[in-house]
Chains A and B, each alone.
Chain A
Amino acid sequence: MSGGIALKKESFDILKKELMYALFLFLIALVIFKIAFFNENLVVLLRNVLSLFWLFVIPGYFIMLYWQEKLDFIERFFAGIILSAAVIGISSYYFGLIGLNIKYHAVFMPLLMIAVGITLNLMKRY
């Protein structure tokens, strides 16, 4: 029981630390986007970078958390981004076919992936 609590705390600490990394990377990404797209206004850039994080980075991070002991943060970060894109590309097609209009996918699918990632991780640990 106490071992489980210790593991839970350890997981939470890792999650907290890595989400701070993600926040730091978000700020760096915003700066890089401002440099690369210097003709664009900040609100558009902010929404764009937020979207990239919401659609790809965060869901990818939570799914890749399952392999946290085996892969370092940077590997999970990049692999997670493209894994999210793959999942959205595939599942958006099927969700559309079964009648869920694509306009809801940008909200629904990242939430679903985050939930799946957390569930997988919890199932693995406990």
Chain B
Amino acid sequence: MVKIKLDLEKAALIVFFAVFLFIGPGALFDHRIKHDFPYAYFSSDSFQHQTRAEAIKDAGNFRYEAPYIIKGFKDAVGIYPPAIYHLAAVLSYSAGIEVYDSIYFLVVFFAIIASCIMYLIIRNFNKTVALLSLPMSLLILSSPPATGFLWGHWPSVLSQSFLIFFFWSIIRIDLDKSWIIIAVAMSAVFLTHTSEAIFAILFLAMFFGAKLIGKSLSKQDIRGIALSFGAFFALSFYYIVIFLNTWAKAQPFSFAVEPVWNGNPGFYIAGFGLLLIPIVFGLIFSLPKLKEAHVSVILAFAMLIAGLLNYIGFGLRSFQIRFFWPIYLSVLFGFGVYIIGKPIIKKWNFAYSSFVFIVLIAAFSGFMKLPVLKQTDVQAIPYIPQVSIAANSGIMDPFHWEALNWLADNSEDNATMYFFYGDIYSQDALLRNAKRVHYQVDPGDFINSIQERKIKKVYITELPGDTGGTISHRVSFFKFEDYAGTVPVEFHFGPKDICGFGYYVFDKVSRQEALAQYNLLIAQELLKKEYINPVFENQVVAILRNNNVGGDCIEERIF
């Protein structure tokens, strides 16, 4: 019989894991694993990743990008870092859940695991500091860092979980065959979201720089890291070739000063509020420790700098790093709390650490309410950030989901579909769930047409699709050709005859009633042709099928 001893450290980790799971994915997903439609998706990017993972699951691999994701181009190489999509598909098969649930779950789940790994890293520095630091990781669920989850920066978030694993592997550089772990960690970072690999290099440069200054750099370290890089290149070579020929050419680095993340709720250092006091204490008192080259301290400094590289051109990538600042900088916070508390409590022991740990968890998770203090939606204690995500179904609803699935299941593989106005269609990646090449009316032209009281045959139309990097065809192993550059601008956006489409999708309800009424007016006009029939309808969406694509499908008139 194996006896399991009560170990307070492990108990603290279990409590932390349970609280994190409850207030994180638990709250976010309405305390369910399975949902009837993509739940708590708040941006187009979330659907972008979900549909790509779904397409990979359908295809069985990620050799090519699905044509319906990239404007109908066929045989275009899959250029996105693949790891997150493959993990989502594998978990979907294994757990028997839909890809839209598995991809979101794993991103949040591994952020929790990464927090625990960070604890292990800091524990290697000081066990008390580690325990005091751990609760601050909860603040990745505060506003605005939670944007990383809610707005679909999932590859970056997952890559940063692997980045923390990479930091851990560097702590263990002295282990026999540690180069294998370092290489796998580095490769996982690169194959999940490439830019985080650059920040890993920044950390390594600081780490070895500190070792060099501290005269603790050994031949074994250099040999270990050289072996790791060799193995990393071998593991990642196939994707490195794709990356260098696509992303690196389409979005090269350029210097820019971008103090504010326009259009996004960026996280700024002042967002830590009063927590900055212990963080600054920790920062000051850990400066002398830099020479000792402890990973936990160096990573905090490296990631603080990485998050500020928006001032030299890293823009979005630096702002994404800030999603995990509550984890990276937690060592400074924990160290600061310890430094501040030490003169007050002479004999600091595990009981004191546990007490502070529990108080901090209660404060950061929002469980601690102090009615005498002025409270807001995001802070129960003024100037102390707290977890602020709650169940909300997000953009998608069961009716649109039913319609999109109907199109995916019932339309011909080569069918083209036209989406008239819908409130949620501005987040256009969700339309990829129709799994067919799709077009949508330009809302500006749509509103103009209402104002001019016209029913038209030709509307300004957008061909939505993934244009983040490039749409490339792989001619040979090292040669790629850009597809997107071979077509005129009107291919992507311009006037289109709606009669050239096989399916029409109309929203019957809208926050602005006039838009839905105009949708229905067009639908009624189309239905005057005997070859156009209603094929699907629910409370929100109606779909018509055009059996004479290219015919004279609608009478232009004034209403």
Contact A93 B86 (CB under 8 A): yes
Pair B94/A89 contact, Cβ less than 8 Å:
no
The residue of chain A having its C-beta at the shortest distance from the C-beta of B1 within the complex is A20
| Interface: A12 (CB within 8 A) | no
Contact between A55 and B91, CB atoms less than 8 A apart = yes
Interface membership of chain B positions 31-67, coded 1 if the CB is closer than 8 angstroms to chain A and 0 otherwise: 1111000000000000000000000110011110000
Instruction: Flag if A51 contacts B95 (CB, 8 Å).
Output: yes
User: How distant is B149 from chain A, measured CB to nearest CB, in Å?
Assistant: 16
- How many residues of B sit at the interface, in one of the four size bands? 35 or more
Chain A 86-98 interface mask (CB, 8 Å, partner B; 1/0): 1111101110110
Contact residues, A84-121 vs B (CB, 8 A) = 85-90, 92-94, 96-97, 99, 101-103, 105-106, 109
Contacts of A109 in B (CB 8 A): 90
- Candidates A37, A47, A55; contact of B90 at CB < 8 Å: A55
A103 and B93 form a contact (CB under 8 A): yes
Asked whether, in the complex, the Cβ of A36 is within 8 Å of the Cβ of B21, the reply is: yes
Q: Does A66 sit within 8 A of B, measured CB to CB?
A: yes
User: Could you tell me if A44 and B34 are in contact, using CB atoms closer than 8 angstroms?
Assistant: yes
- Whether B142 sits at the interface, judged by CB under 8 Å, is no
For the complex, is B120 an interface residue (Cβ under 8 Å from A)?
yes
- Say whether B120 contacts A102, CB under 8 Å: no
Determine the residue in chain B with the shortest Cβ distance to A17: B2
Question: Which residues of A lie under 8 Å from residue B192 when comparing CB positions?
Answer: 89
- Given A37-B31, A85-B110: A93 in contact with B82 (beta carbons within 8 A): yes
Q: Pick from A82, A83, A86, A101 the residue with the most CB of B within 10 Å.
A: A86
State whether the Cβ of A40 lies closer than 8 Å to any Cβ in chain B: yes
Say yes or no for B225: interface residue by CB 8 A criterion: no
CA separation between A32 and B91, bound complex, in Å? Answer: 19
Which of B13, B32, B60 contacts A102 (CB under 8 A)? Answer: B60
Is A1 in the interface zone, CB < 8 Å from B? no
- Bound-state Cα–Cα, A32 to B13, Å: 12
- Interface pair B62/A93, CB less than 8 Å apart: yes
Asked whether any CB of chain B lies closer than 8 Å to the CB of A26, the reply is: no
Q: Which residues from chain A contact B13 at a C-beta distance below 8 Å?
A: 74
> Does A122 reach chain B (CB closer than 8 Å)?
no
Shortest Cβ gap from B135 to chain A (Å): 17
Q: Which residues of A contact B187 (CB under 8 A)?
A: 86, 90
Contact A86 B94 (CB under 8 A): no
Q: State the CA gap A101–B161 with chains docked (Å).
A: 27
Which of B2, B161, B165 touches A79 (beta carbons < 8 Å)? Answer: B165
Known: A78-B116, A97-B62. A89 touches B25 (CB 8 A): no
A82-B117, A101-B60 known; A36 and B188 CB under 8 Å? no
Q: Check if A16 sits within 8 Å of B2, measured CB to CB.
A: yes
**Interface check B4, CB cutoff 8 A:** yes
Within 8 A of A (CB), among B123-143: none
Question: Contacts A36-B25, A82-B161 hold; do A89 and B191 have CB atoms under 8 A apart?
Answer: yes
A48 close to B60 (CB less than 8 A): no
Verify if A39 is at the interface (C-beta below 8 Å from B).
Answer: yes
When A16-B2, A82-B161 are in contact, do A36 and B31 touch as well, CB less than 8 Å?
A: yes
Docked complex Cα distance between A45 and B86 (Å): 22
Query: Could you list 16 examples of A-B contacts with CB < 8 Å?
Result: A37-B31, A38-B26, A40-B31, A44-B34, A66-B177, A70-B176, A74-B13, A82-B110, A82-B114, A90-B83, A102-B56, A102-B60, A102-B89, A102-B90, A105-B86, A105-B89
Q: Give 4 nearest A-B pairs by CB, closest first.
A: A96-B61, A89-B83, A86-B188, A36-B26
The interface of chain A, by Cβ under 8 A from chain B, is 16-17, 20-21, 24, 28, 32-33, 35-40, 44-45, 47-48, 51-52, 54-55, 66-67, 70-71, 74-75, 78-79, 81-83, 85-90, 92-94, 96-97, 99, 101-103, 105-106, 109
Contacts A70-B172, A85-B110 aside, 19 further interface pairs with beta carbons under 8 A come to: A20-B4, A21-B2, A21-B4, A35-B22, A36-B31, A40-B34, A51-B95, A67-B172, A81-B113, A82-B114, A85-B87, A89-B87, A90-B188, A99-B61, A102-B57, A102-B89, A103-B57, A103-B93, A106-B90
